[in-house]
Structure 1
Amino acid sequence: MKRKILLFLVLFLLFPVLNIEAHSLKNIIISEVMHGIREDGKNYASCEFIEIYNLTSQEIDLKELIGDKIQIITKSSTTSRYLTWKTNVIEKNSYFLIVSKECSKSKYYSQLISLADATYSAFLSEEGGVRIIKNDGEILDEILLKENKIEFNQSLERNLETGEFFIQNCPNPTNSKNETFYFCSTSTTPTIPSQPTPIFSQISPSDIVINEFVPDPVDGEEEWIELYNNTDKEIDLTGFYIEEGSGAQTFLNGKILPKGFFVVEKIKGYLNNSGDIIFLKDPTEKIIDKVTYGNWNDGNLEDNAPTAKDPYSIARIIDGRDSDEDNLDFKIANPTKGTFNQILNLGNFISGIVINEILPNPKGDDSEKEFIELKNLNNFEVDLEGWYLQDSSNRKFIISSKKIPTKIPKNGFLVIFRKDSKIALNNSGEDCVKLFQPDKTLVDSVCYSEEALEEVAFARNEKGEFEWTEILTPGKENEIKKPNKKPKAKIFVEKNKILVGEEIFFDRSDSFDPDGDNLKFLWDFGDGNKKEGAYVFHTFSEPKKYKVTLKVEDERGAFDVAEVKIEVSKNKDEEKYYFDDLSGKLFISEIFPNPKGRDDQEFIEIFNFSDETLDISNFILTDKSQREYKIKEGTKIEPKSFLVFWKNETKISLNNDGDEVRLLDSNKKLIDKVFYSKAPEGLSLSRTENGEMIWTEIVTPGKENEFLKESKEKIENLIIKNVGLKEIKNLNLKEKVKTKGVVSVEPGVFAENILYLSGSGIKVKFNFQEIPKIRVGDELEILGEIFEEEGEKGIEVFSKENVKILGHKIPPKPKEIKIEEINEEFLSSLIKIKGEITEIKENFIWLKENEKEILIFLKEKFKENKNFEKGDSIKVAGILRKIGNQFILFTRNLDDLELIQKPKLKSSLNESIFQKNSKLILAGILMLLIGVIFVFLFKKKKFFLKA
């Protein structure tokens, strides 16, 4: 009985653990699907994605759950597509992104492939769908595109709350790292710099090459592939993979030393003995090297490497040398796994003769001064009689003593001029020079693809790599002096049309220097203001068209200039139509939106200011609801006279909570408009003699407007709300408010006309010229209107008289919060956070705390003023803003940054190890407990049997 109780307890304790996975499996859903893209006016069905979401609070191993396949539903059947995993874990309440490999060929969306958590071969269509199936055949989820008319560059996205699908015009797939790719390119928000590119993207083709391989191993051994690192740096191969002709992929893990070898064994798939193709790709699926051998048809069988039978290998003649012609680079060899190649039957092959310098574009006569220089790296003389040079056009020059000297001394040079070789090197476009022995064995090759500048040579440096140099050294040791290439200036702006006083973000992030020089960025805004920096904000104070220029200059004085035109318009809310403005003759003179009693007393009154009778037939009155009233044919308005249009006639119902009345001519050209935010009951909005619209208790339809001076304060109290800062974010746009607050950011820090009030945090924008001197800590009383920019509500003030300095208080302290607590509630607030610096770039840093990260914008250059670096723990204070979908903390000055500590490598490493292995430790303890119980039961059973 006791044994049964113990067994029950074991199963009872184990059941929740075993059931976690079973419960989780039913909560994987398809959250977004796109079946194709549209580029340059054409549809491409090959670039597509499938986004999956984990609704559970447990991480799930997708590969273990669904295997290596995903099912694609076609118009008439279903087909499976193999997945290539970059990661197979989908975190709790997180996304997982599967992207077709063909997206890498896209002109505009190729970066999508770098965000993929897994890839597959494209097969979706607008008539098909996707199905996710467990290994046991159970369908987890499916989606049918044919039930919705999905165009190219549209996706079908699921509302995670309701479960319903809708057509998304701006697809936004998200991966397991919570990185989102936005398809819509017409963004009105500044580009936020991305994190620095991982080292693998800096690996160029042929930096690592497939150096040797065995497709037909001796009995008892396996196929293998050897890689060679041509660079002088150690390269981490994690995420790289080998792919053979069937599509099978072998992922790599480890590092390859400089000028070192790396052997890949236990290859997935197999290398065909008769012929195959082998790719080496980086984690973004970029091809680093490829080799075609035997009878594999890649479109050109003639340049295939040979194949080899047991016991031989196929190897490069010279380790690491890659001319991109496999028939010239590879020969049959004795296998030398992980060491230098040994080619069979090379006979009198002589290594150590290299192409050392070429001059494609000399100053003056190319036919006389072009040259190709060879160098003998050996300690003995070599006779090159019968050797030959060949360029990309297959023009051949045989080195013969009848034309030039053929002997090249030890460590010496042989210069061959164009007048002798007749080989003309291209000045623009790609060209190659190859050196062969008489038996057609390729000894060396050099290729260039850039435009050859005048009097600049392409020469081998001390590392054996080729660079362009301004110093020509035919017959001598090379000297490298790189020609300076001017930088390229490019400007990104949020938008090209803005209003006076509106803040605009300028970004140079697409500018670059081909030489990698440090750059200066000088901005001229065309209004007398200039700034320096990679990312700048600016406001314009006058309405006009401005030409903004960016000068990008490198360390050696070379520069490039880009420009963009910005059209600045007068703020619509400042537009006033004065009676003495002779450019207009007709005005809205009075409106009555909220009469006491019945609303049929509403009216709109217009006034003819001119000295002539005006025919206003077919003119239009309209409001914000777009309801239009066309004035009847034959309607005229006498000079200096009024005309009233009642609600019963126009059917226009003016809103009490705010509306806009417009007067248009017969061609729908705007003549006048009047806006109000809240209509007090029984008051009309009437035009004064100076053109200002104000509320009055005296309603005068068809007559000259009248105003009571003593009622002004009473009326203001009706339409102006006295509110606390907390209430402002809940008010409607254009509502007039009066409030008090203490200044946390003074004017001139972010912009000349912008300040922030502390507490709940409110942005205040001054829309007038003479801004009073205001300091941090000043208590202000302000009167203005509610406005909103980039999701940030604030108060816009139109007059200096509406700003009162009540006194000075202790400067406000920032509210300390955690990064994970950041949300819209803190927008415009002065906050302080802490965390670890994960990246530094230009005026931005990334700060991380408990796996949550935020972007910090610094007004001043970071590295020049603060000795911080990646890994440091710091505190940062600033104003929280939101640009696009990204929260950004804007610092006020360098005092907002405080160093907490430098990284402690050992303790953080131990902590990381513990965190990563905590689940394994708990599982181990559980298994140990189970083992002890079963041993106890087993021994007890043996005891009773003996008895």
Structure 2
Amino acid sequence: MLVIAHNDYTGAIPKDIAYSTQASVTADNTIILYSDNGHTVVDLVGMGSASKAEGSAAPTPDASMSVERKGGVDTNNNAADFTLLTTPTPHQSSTGSPESNNENQGSGNNAGTTPIPQGTALSGILITFSEVLPNPVGDDATGEWIELVNLGDQEVNLADWAVEDASGKHYTITQGNAIASTTIAPYGYFVLPRNATDISLNNTGTETLRLLHIDEQTIVSISYTGPVQEGSAWARNSDGSYEWTTTPTPSASNLITAPQSVDTKSQNHPVIRPDAPLDDGAQSYASSSPPKILINELLPNPIGDDTEEEWIELKNENDDEASLSGFVLSDASGASYTFTAQSDQIPPHGLLLVPRAQTKIVLNNDGDTIFLKYQGHTLTQIQYGKNQEGTSFARDDQGNYTWTTSPTPGKPNVISLPAEIEEESDEEEEPFNAQTAVASPQDNEEARDTNEQPKPIVSPKDVRKVEIKDIRSLPRNTKVATEGVVIVPSGVFGRTSMYLNGMQIYSVAVQFPDCATGDLVEVQGYVSMSGNETRITVPKTGWVKKIGKGEPPEPLLLTAATLSDEQEGSLVQVEGELIEKKSTTLWFDDDTGEVRITLKDTTGLHPEDFTAGEHYTVKGVLSETSAGYRVLPRGKDDVASQGAVQGASTQKEMSTSDVQYTRPLYYVVTALALIAIALGLGIKKWREHKGISTP
């Protein structure tokens, strides 16, 4: 056994090596054992809120306590391998075991999850603090909240669990008073607003929160130190550490966007090296300011071989050349790449392309989270969703990440939103009319030389808070914020869209939150167009949030003659006699004109469910394409048949195949007539040229 102790140590066991630092070597810190003169890590243990640990961090010992390895076992998980002892035993073999000393697990400054002992009633339950908002923008009394997360794969009933703050204020979780349910879903979130808990979170000094089980056992405790910037949340990162973020995300995955003027960690984490001088200047993970390097762009789904063409691009935001020594790239799976002193330098405000062949990090095509860290501290964390082939995830001028169809490896980013493809391949194309076709400014813009470099989207720095009804009057690419009631949840018409009453919400970049019809949702994004329909494109995770419950709207009763832009995106109801079917498109006659109904495969509605000549009532969303208005029913509950129309004409009862050939026959006859006229004019000109008189 080797004892390394402080110079002031006066215990009975003599020390073998002394050090002089005044910093605690255990409170929320990492101790690393090196060999080969510091080149090889033999072992390490992180405690409390330490950002570097094997697996999860071990608990932090309180005063006069020690942290001890359990029976010499090393599973590369500090939380599982170490326990706390009230009576330290230097120069003795480890006596800790998974079942021993549980009552001695002090909270200290623990900012991670205290391990729940195996073999107890709580074994396998993984509930911890996800995020807290101590100083919201606005009134603290109505805006503060505490969020829990379930890291396990089983639903947990939190009834009679409790949350307690540093002052001893105690709240027992019960249903009612802003708490609709006490259960937390697997991998789900549970928000406790201040108006339910009556816990006032400190904006200055140190605050500590504890989560208690029914039997008052402390499950987890976290601490943060103020002053807290307004609008910043104390959030759990994917590695289990906590950081300040300027993007609170209640009931959603945490998004770390670090405040510019605040150290994102509340504590420093000294690393003690036995082979290096130990004094008051011991190196701290947070003691040095790294150069400002960020993830600028990444290409997860290139055109071609992913293994050869994927890349991540870094940007140096400094005025000086930057070394990447000490920086680490990693993804959600834990795969990582560490830059060494021999790694490339990045010139001032320059870019560095890091290919997959170098990092061995696989960028998942269906979504991933990428981290850039410096000595354990997350500098950049970006999360993206499923994407189109050939699109990159890039940082715009406002610091937001969005998809672009113009990857620019090694060059400044160019933001051009992915093409919004119209799903009308099965619909009839309107005949071209040379006399009425007029090129619009938009058409001219889209008809420019395709080799011309697209211009970046310029959007105002401030989000415009607007009502849904006013969005159609705004220019495209205007950044807006609005809220509304869900009438079509994501997945009903496809993964990339949902509808609030009056507006389509679209994104290929993010996964929408789980919502039901009637939920109240807040949205931020850019005004865009699909065909002739205005919609909001959401480029960033966290910009769609469920904020409560609303009242599902009653459908607007419309006819073919009253369909207009004012009802676009709204829930409507039409009725009429089915007169024509073509693939998934139906036409109804309501005596004022024809109404087009389009059936989506995801709704369970099929053309064979409808019979020509019958009268139907259909509810759905009013959408608009280049071919005009259409109604999109959400499912079978939106369709009702009133039976066959009495006295329906033979024409209206004809088969689908008869109807399909009516319009093509008209075009054929018209074409033959034009050919005959042209032939007659040609013969006349020929006879005049030859001097042949016409009888």
State if a TM-score over 0.5 links the two structures: no
Look at both structures and tell me which one has the larger radius of gyration over its CA atoms.
1
Q: TM-score, normalised by structure 2?
A: 0.29
Q: TM-score, normalised by structure 1?
A: 0.22
Structure with the higher fraction of residues in strand conformation: 1
